[in-house]
Chain A
Amino acid sequence: MTSRLMFRVLAALVAFTVLARIPVGFDVGFKFDSALAVIWAFGLLSLVLLTGYVGQISLCQATFAGVGAYATGLMVAGFHTDYLVAVGVGVAAAFTLGVIVGIPALRLRGITLAIVTLGIALVFDRYVFQDHAFEWFTGGTAGWRVDRATMFGLQMDSSKHLMSAYIVLLALFCVVALLMVNLHDSGAGRRLRAIRDSELSAATMGVNLTRYKLLAFGMSAAIAGLGGSFYPLVAGSVSPQPFWLFTSLQFAAIAVLMGVRYVPAAALGGVFMAVVPDVLTRFGHGTFMGHAYEISYDWFQIAVGVLLIVQLIALPDGVWGDLRARVRHARSAAGAIGGRKVKVA
Chain B
Amino acid sequence: MTMLRVRDMTVRFGGIVALDGVSLDLNRGEILGMIGPNGAGKTTLFNCISGVIRPDHGSILFETNDLTYAPPHRRAQLGIARTFQNLQLWGSMTVQENLMVPMDALGRRNTFSDALYLPFSAYAERASSERARAILHVLDLGRYARTLAGDLPAGIQRRVEIARALAMRPKLLLLDEPAAGLDAQETAHLAELLHAVRERFHVSMLLVDHDMSLVMRVCDFVYVLDFGKLLARGRPAAIRNDPKVVAAYLGEESKKLTGDVMTVAAARKEEPPLLEVDRLAAGYGGLEVIRDVTLSVRPGEVVACIGANGAGKTTTLRAISGMIHPRAGHVVFAGRDVTGSPAERITKLGLVHIPEGRGLFPTISVEDTLRLVSNSAGHEVDIAPAFQLFPRLRERRRQLVGTLSGGEQQMVALARAILSEPRLVMIDEMSQGLAPTVVRQLFEIVRVFREQGIAVLLVEQFVESALDVADRAYVFEHGTIALSGPAVELRSDRTLVTGSYLGTAADASTIAAANGNGHHIDPALMEVMSVRVPAKVKRALEQRAENEGRPAGAVVVELLGKVDDQ
Contact = CB atoms under 8 A, between A and B. Distances in A.
Interface of A: 1-2, 5, 179-180, 182-183, 186-191, 193-194, 196-198, 200-209, 215, 342-345
A180 B111 CA distance: 11
Contacts of B126: 1
B81 A201 contact: no
B73 to A, nearest CB: 5
Interface in B127-164: 128, 164
B115 A179 contact: yes
A188 B111 contact: yes
B175 interface: no
Contacts of B89: 197-198, 201
Interface string B514-547: 0000000000000000001110010000000000
A183 B114 contact: yes
B372 interface: no
Interface residues of B, number: 48
Given A182-B114, A215-B111, A190 B121 contact: no
B117 A345 contact: no
Of the candidates B84, B101, B533, B534, the one having the most CB atoms from chain A within 10 angstroms of its own CB is: B101
Contacts of A191: 101, 104-105
B84 A187 contact: no
B71 interface: yes
Of the candidates B90, B92, B122, the one having the most CB atoms from chain A within 10 angstroms of its own CB is: B90
B97 interface: yes
Given A186-B125, A204-B82, A205-B102, A342 B564 contact: yes
B312 interface: no
Given A203-B72, A345-B532, A186 B92 contact: no
25 contacts: A179-B115, A187-B104, A187-B124, A187-B128, A188-B109, A189-B114, A189-B115, A190-B100, A190-B101, A191-B101, A193-B90, A193-B92, A194-B93, A198-B89, A201-B89, A203-B73, A205-B76, A205-B81, A205-B101, A206-B76, A206-B105, A207-B105, A343-B532, A344-B560, A344-B563
Given A205-B76, A205-B101, A205-B105, A344 B533 contact: yes
Nearest to B72: A203
Contacts of B75: 204
A291 B91 CA distance: 55
Contacts of B125: 1, 186-187
Given A183-B115, A206-B102, A198 B90 contact: yes
A110 to B, nearest CB: 18
Of the candidates A5, A204, A208, A343, the one having the most CB atoms from chain B within 10 angstroms of its own CB is: A204
Contacts of A182: 114-117
B324 interface: no
B435 to A, nearest CB: 31
B88 interface: yes
Contacts of A186: 114-115, 117, 121, 125
Interface string B65-99: 00000011101110001101000111111000100
B52 A204 contact: yes
B50 interface: yes
A197 B563 contact: no
B76 A204 contact: yes
A345 B556 CA distance: 12
Contacts of B52: 200, 204
A197 B114 contact: no
A344 B101 contact: no
Given A204-B51, A204-B82, A205-B164, A345 B537 contact: yes
Nearest to A4: B117
B511 interface: no
B62 to A, nearest CB: 14
Nearest to A176: B115
Interface in B7-36: none
Contact of B93 (A187, A197, A203, A209): A197
B522 to A, nearest CB: 15
A2 B110 CA distance: 19
A5 B105 contact: no
Contacts of A203: 71-73
B6 interface: no
A190 B73 contact: no
Given A1-B122, A193-B93, A196-B90, 6 more contacts: A188-B115, A190-B101, A204-B76, A205-B81, A206-B77, A345-B537
Nearest to A216: B111
Of the candidates B77, B97, B114, the one having the most CB atoms from chain A within 10 angstroms of its own CB is: B114
Contacts of A208: 73, 105
Contacts of A1: 122, 125-126
Nearest to A187: B104
A102 B82 CA distance: 28
A146 B115 CA distance: 33
A205 B109 CA distance: 15
A187 to B, nearest CB: 4
Contacts of B71: 203
B559 to A, nearest CB: 9
Contacts of B246: none
Of the candidates A180, A188, A208, the one having the most CB atoms from chain B within 10 angstroms of its own CB is: A188
B157 to A, nearest CB: 12
A201 B122 CA distance: 25
B560 A187 contact: no
Given A204-B82, A205-B101, A345-B534, A190 B124 contact: no
Contacts of A190: 93, 97, 100-101, 104
B35 to A, nearest CB: 22
Of the candidates A201, A202, A207, the one having the most CB atoms from chain B within 10 angstroms of its own CB is: A201
Contacts of B90: 193-194, 196-198, 201-202
B106 interface: yes
Contacts of B537: 345
A5 B84 contact: no
A160 B116 CA distance: 35
A342 B559 CA distance: 12
B412 interface: no
Nearest to B112: A188
Of the candidates A201, A202, A206, the one having the most CB atoms from chain B within 10 angstroms of its own CB is: A206
B216 to A, nearest CB: 27
A183 B563 CA distance: 43
Given A193-B90, A194-B93, A187 B100 contact: yes
B454 interface: no
Of the candidates A187, A196, A198, the one having the most CB atoms from chain B within 10 angstroms of its own CB is: A187
Contacts of B84: 200-201
A100 B93 CA distance: 29
A182 B112 CA distance: 10
A206 B534 contact: no
Contacts of B165: 205
B325 to A, nearest CB: 22
B109 A187 contact: yes
B326 to A, nearest CB: 23
Given A179-B116, A189-B114, A342-B563, A201 B109 contact: no
B319 interface: no
A187 B121 contact: yes
B168 interface: yes
B100 A207 contact: no
A201 B76 CA distance: 11
Nearest to B75: A204
B552 to A, nearest CB: 13
Contacts of A206: 73, 76-77, 102, 105-106, 168
